[in-house]
Amino acid sequence: MDTARGNRAVGEGIVLPAEFDDGVVWAAWLYYVDQLTQSEIAKMLGVSRATIVNYLQEARERGLVNIRLNTEVGSRTGIARRLKDKFSLEGALVIPALDNSDLVQRLGEAGARLLADMVQPGDTIGVAWGRTVLAVADSISLPEPVEGLTVVQVSGSSIANPDFAPEFCTSLMSRRIHARCINLLAPALLSTPALKQALLAEQVLVKQFELIHSSNIILFGVGDIGPETLIRSANITGQEDIDAYQAGGAVGVLICRFIDAEGRPVRGDLDNRMVGIELNELSQVPRRLCVAGGASKLTAIRATLKGGYATHLVTDIATAEMLLQ
């Protein structure tokens, strides 16, 4: 039925303006844009407040509304400030504790929010691999399009664990933020140092490494080298190779590179055959976002921060408290 000023009556007796054909959309507009209260909207639409609550929930479920919490909220907490001071970080985001929650997923969601806030037009974003990196890539969304973005894979490819392989993390990230995707067209580990040198001399890989070195943001996680670590289960190399690094003092892994408790590189046979960004190259990227947490990774995360490999950290409160002890 037509009403005054071109408005229309729809189900439940709700009267909508002519430019709206959905009561859920109209209620969401009044609440989030015009900032009316739920009671005011209920009176205006002639329905109960409970109906408006349901409308607003439906608006979120349908993707009509995207609620973003400014990451400054988490970075202004006392514990985040103490982390920044202790480890000379530019930014730290600490997520609260939740019982029976998926820590990797929650770290990924928090990392995605912080990364989205960091991105600027024209950025080249280097992406590592692993479960947490994948969770960031799967969770990220930009509040509005950002022009000229490039996402580049920073470590060689592997057929092991395809669910969070380097090429998958990179391609997923690029799709989520509508960026150009550059995958590294080489295996993570080659059979001999000579083959590595010959392969890296190929022009296509020379250009790809030029892109890697031009990254102004890099996203990476941290791995420990215990029996359940990702570097062991990924089957990139044999257990004896990792044991040798551990015997040499390694406590953590950053993008397939090993570090000791002070964050110093621990070199071995794999380094001469590994294809990907080096630790000294990682340190030269202007903004370096490390997303990692959990008690099993505490020593490796502390070593990463001591080595100065991260400018920004996303972690959980339990890990943060242990890092500050």
DSSP-derived 3-state class of residue 173: helix
Name the pLDDT band for 89 (thresholds 50, 70, 90).
very high
Distance of CA 304 to the CA centre of its chain: 17
Q: What is the mean pLDDT of residues 157-163?
A: 69
- Which pair of structure tokens corresponds to residue 304? 């990463």
Domains and CATH numbers, the chain: 4-61 (1.10.10.10), 72-324 (3.40.50.1360)
pLDDT at 314 over 50: yes
The residue whose two tokens read 């001399």 is: 201
Q: Per-residue b/e over 286-322, b at no fewer than 16 CB within 10 Å?
A: ebbbbbbbbeebbbbbbbbbebebbbbbbbbbbbbee
Q: What pLDDT was estimated at residue 225?
A: 87
Summarize the confidence of residues 161-168 as an average pLDDT. 79
* Cα 298 to Cα 305: distance, rounded to the nearest angstrom: 11
pTM metric for this prediction: 0.78
pLDDT band at 8 (very low <50, low <70, confident <90, very high): very low
- The pLDDT score that the predictor gives to residue 235 is 63
For the segment 233-249, the average pLDDT, to the nearest whole number, is 81
Residue ranges with strand state E in the chain: 8-9, 15-16, 91-95, 124-127, 150-153, 180-182, 217-220, 223-224, 252-254, 257-259, 287-291, 312-316
Query: What is d(CA 26, CA 17) in angstroms, rounded to the nearest whole number?
Result: 8
Beta bridge partners of 181: 151
Q: pLDDT value at position 273?
A: 93
Q: Would you place residue 13 in the very low, low, confident or very high pLDDT band (cuts 50, 70, 90)?
A: low
pLDDT at 71 over 70: no
37-46, 91-100, 313-322: which has the highest mean pLDDT?
313-322
Mean pLDDT taken over the chain: 87
Question: For residue range 176-193, what is the model confidence (pLDDT) as tens digits?
Answer: 999 999 999 898 889 999
